[in-house]
């Protein structure tokens, strides 16, 4: 702290929620800067399990102000529902602050997301169908509708009418669907606006004031580096910038304020949805990772594809995020295996790649070059300090850190807060 970014180094689901929750102990503000309710962050506190999609994980720490920044896309109905669910479980959401500049996910975005996927057939991205891509498309096309528009019924209706003129043509003529009714949407959304009004503010100013007052601000990335629209495995990515630079743009603070960038890295790697995955395992080793790691999506319940840690991708994540350190998660899952593998390069057409190849097709065609390390074959879930870990586990961590080029400062051996070792 004072301004720390938590970012996923893989294709999401690295355990960012858990690591954010651990850091949030010392935070005053926890900020989401991109994405929307495509994220699924699971946090276990005692016997309770929380699955957050849009509200920053910091909401679970009393006294923390959770902030949803300008770079996000917000489905207001989902947001209100998530707030109500938390309230019903005794979690106070009154401090939540939402950027007036964030864009809204509209009902036609959800619909078009699903229809586009169907249209792509076997080329589908495997999106979460939450309307994320279409909402960002409208933002960058400069005909999005923003949170602040909810407080001006005339402007909201005008913008909606313009949007629907185009969307209804797309729905009816291209996809053979029913047209959507402007007044129905306006009534629904303006009511959401009335319920959210006390939470909406200039979050850029709020965070600038917080940093000026030496408050601790934590930025919680959603998705991960390889799902970044610029730096990920395009087009099999999400439509925002999860990478650390996105924290500045997506929250309205200058990049000079960011001083610690923590990359959350799972000790193996997973991916939901389509796209290249060099170290993917379709054998029983992969199946064991799914089973022992509980690798099923928080949002859509889909089975995650799993494979060995990819150090080429990790080094890449270190570079594009400017990582200062790594939090290595779910290392307890590796206790199952006699021998562990880490991918240290790719080989395709007799060429060895130690950096992300220029041409993405290499990721489909390559053979991973693996380094083998001994497993430890004993339960490490109860470890509470590095000294409790068997030598082979420590060796694995040291190897990851060497390959990544930045120190591993935190190791997670279980989903609970206390199952976190600092180094």
Which segment (34-42, 314-322, 344-352, 406-414) binds ligand IMO by CB under 6 A?
A: 34-42
- Among ligand GDP, Mg ion, ligand IMO, none, what binds residue 128 when CB lies within 5 to 8 Å by partner kind? ligand IMO
Provide the β-strand partners of residue 201: 99
Distance CA 299, CA 356 (A): 29
Contact letters for Mg ion, residues 77-106 (x by CB under 5 A)? ------------------------------
* Residue 127 sits in the site that holds ligand IMO (CB under 6 A): yes
Q: Which of 128, 241, 324, 412 binds ligand IMO (CB under 6 A)?
A: 128
Q: How many residues interact with Mg ion (rule CB under 5 A)?
A: 3
- Least distance in angstroms from the C-beta of 403 to ligand GDP: 20
* Catalytic option among 13, 21, 149, 332: 13
- Which of 17, 51, 54, 18 lies closest to 34 in space, CA to CA? 54
- Among ligand IMO, ligand GDP, Mg ion, none, what binds residue 130 when CB lies within 5 to 8 Å by partner kind? ligand IMO
**In sequence order, which residues have a C-beta less than 8 Å from that of residue 420 and are 6 or more positions away?**
18, 22, 410, 411, 412, 413
* Nearer of residues 50 and 156 to ligand GDP, judged by Cβ: 50
* Nearer of residues 125 and 264 to ligand GDP, judged by Cβ: 264
* Catalytic option among 21, 25, 28, 41: 41
- Among ligand GDP, ligand IMO, Mg ion, none, what binds residue 70 when CB lies within 5 to 8 Å by partner kind? none
Is residue 72 a contact partner of residue 247, using CB atoms and an 8 Å limit? no
Q: What is the DSSP string of 238-255?
A: -SS--STHHHHHTTT--G
* Nearer of residues 41 and 159 to ligand GDP, judged by Cβ: 41
Provide the β-strand partners of residue 371: 342
Distance CA 279, CA 368 (A): 6
Is residue 421 a contact partner of residue 335, using CB atoms and an 8 Å limit? no
* Nearer of residues 13 and 295 to Mg ion, judged by Cβ: 13
* Nearer of residues 330 and 341 to ligand GDP, judged by Cβ: 330
- Among ligand GDP, ligand IMO, Mg ion, none, what binds residue 103 when CB lies within 5 to 8 Å by partner kind? none
> How many CB atoms lie under 10 A from the CB of residue 378?
10
**Which residue intervals of 306-404 are DSSP H helices?**
311-321, 361-365, 391-404
> How many CB atoms lie under 10 A from the CB of residue 331?
27
* Residue 273 sits in the site that holds ligand IMO (CB under 6 A): yes
- Among ligand IMO, Mg ion, ligand GDP, none, what binds residue 272 when CB lies within 5 to 8 Å by partner kind? ligand IMO
Q: How far is CA 361 from CA 183, 276, 352, in A?
A: 47, 8, 14
- Among ligand IMO, Mg ion, ligand GDP, none, what binds residue 125 when CB lies within 5 to 8 Å by partner kind? ligand IMO
Is residue 10 a contact partner of residue 224, using CB atoms and an 8 Å limit? yes
Phi-psi region of 285 (alpha: psi -120 to 50; beta: other; left: phi over 0): alpha
* Nearer of residues 204 and 298 to ligand IMO, judged by Cβ: 298
- Least distance in angstroms from the C-beta of 419 to ligand IMO: 19
Contact letters for Mg ion, residues 4-43 (x by CB under 5 A)? ---------x--------------------------x---
The rounded radius of gyration (Å) of the Cα atoms in the chain is 22
* Residue 272 sits in the site that holds ligand IMO (CB under 6 A): yes
> How many CB atoms lie under 10 A from the CB of residue 135?
28
Task: State yes or no: is 149 an active-site residue.
Answer: no
The bridge status of strand 65-68 relative to strand 29-32 is: parallel
Distance CA 196, CA 258 (A): 29
Secondary structure tally for the chain: helices H, strands E: 12, 19
* Nearer of residues 15 and 131 to Mg ion, judged by Cβ: 15
Task: State yes or no: is 13 an active-site residue.
Answer: yes
Q: Which residues bind ligand IMO (CB under 6 A)?
A: 8, 11-13, 38-41, 125-128, 130, 132-133, 222-224, 227, 238-239, 272-273
Give the residue numbers annotated as catalytic, written as ranges.
13, 41
Q: Which residues bind Mg ion (CB under 5 A)?
A: 13, 40, 298
């Amino acid at each position: 702290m004072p301004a720390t970014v938590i970012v996923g180094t893989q294709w999401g689901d690295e355990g960012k929620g858990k690591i954010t929750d651990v850091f949030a102990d010392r935070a005053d503000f926890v900020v989401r800067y991109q994405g929307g309710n495509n994220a699924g962050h699971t946090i276990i506190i005692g016997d309770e399990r929380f699955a957050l999609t849009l509200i920053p994980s910091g909401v679970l720490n009393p006294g923390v102000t959770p902030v949803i920044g300008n770079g996000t896309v917000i489905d207001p109905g989902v947001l209100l529902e998530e707030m109500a669910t938390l309230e019903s479980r005794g979690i106070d959401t009154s401090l939540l602050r939402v950027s007036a500049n964030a864009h809204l996910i509209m009902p036609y975005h959800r619909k078009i997301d699903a229809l586009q996927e169907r249209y792509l057939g076997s080329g589908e991205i495997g999106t979460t169908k939450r309307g994320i891509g279409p909402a960002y498309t409208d933002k960058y096309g400069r005909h999005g509708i923003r949170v602040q528009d909810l407080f001006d019924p005339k402007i909201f209706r005008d913008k909606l009418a313009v949007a629907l003129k185009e969307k209804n043509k797309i729905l009816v003529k291209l996809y053979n669907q029913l047209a959507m009714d402007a007044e129905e949407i306006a009534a629904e959304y303006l009511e959401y606006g009335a319920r959210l009004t006390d939470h909406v503010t200039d979050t850029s100013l709020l965070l600038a004031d917080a940093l000026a007052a030496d408050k601790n601000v934590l930025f919680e990335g959603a998705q991960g580096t390889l799902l970044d629209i610029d730096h990920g495995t395009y087009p099999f990515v999400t439509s925002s910038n999860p990478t650390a630079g996105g924290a500045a743009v997506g929250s309205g603070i200058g990049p000079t304020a960011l001083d610690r960038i923590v990359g959350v890295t799972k000790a193996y790697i997973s991916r939901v949805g389509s796209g290249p995955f060099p170290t993917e395992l379709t054998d029983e080793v992969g199946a064991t990772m799914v089973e022992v790691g509980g690798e099923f999506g928080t949002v859509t319940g889909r089975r995650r594809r799993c494979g060995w840690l990819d150090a080429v991708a990790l080094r890449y994540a270190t570079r594009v995020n400017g990582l200062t350190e790594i939090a290595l998660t779910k290392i307890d899952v590796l206790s199952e295996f006699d021998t562990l593998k880490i991918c240290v390069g790719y080989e395709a057409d007799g060429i060895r790649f130690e950096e992300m190849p220029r041409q993405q097709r290499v990721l489909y065609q390559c053979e991973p070059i693996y380094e083998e390390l001994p497993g430890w074959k004993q339960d490490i879930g109860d470890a509470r300090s590095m000294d409790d870990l068997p030598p082979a586990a420590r060796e694995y961590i040291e190897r990851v850190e060497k390959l990544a080029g930045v120190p591993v400062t935190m190791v997670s051996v279980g989903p609970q807060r206390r199952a976190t070792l600092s180094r």
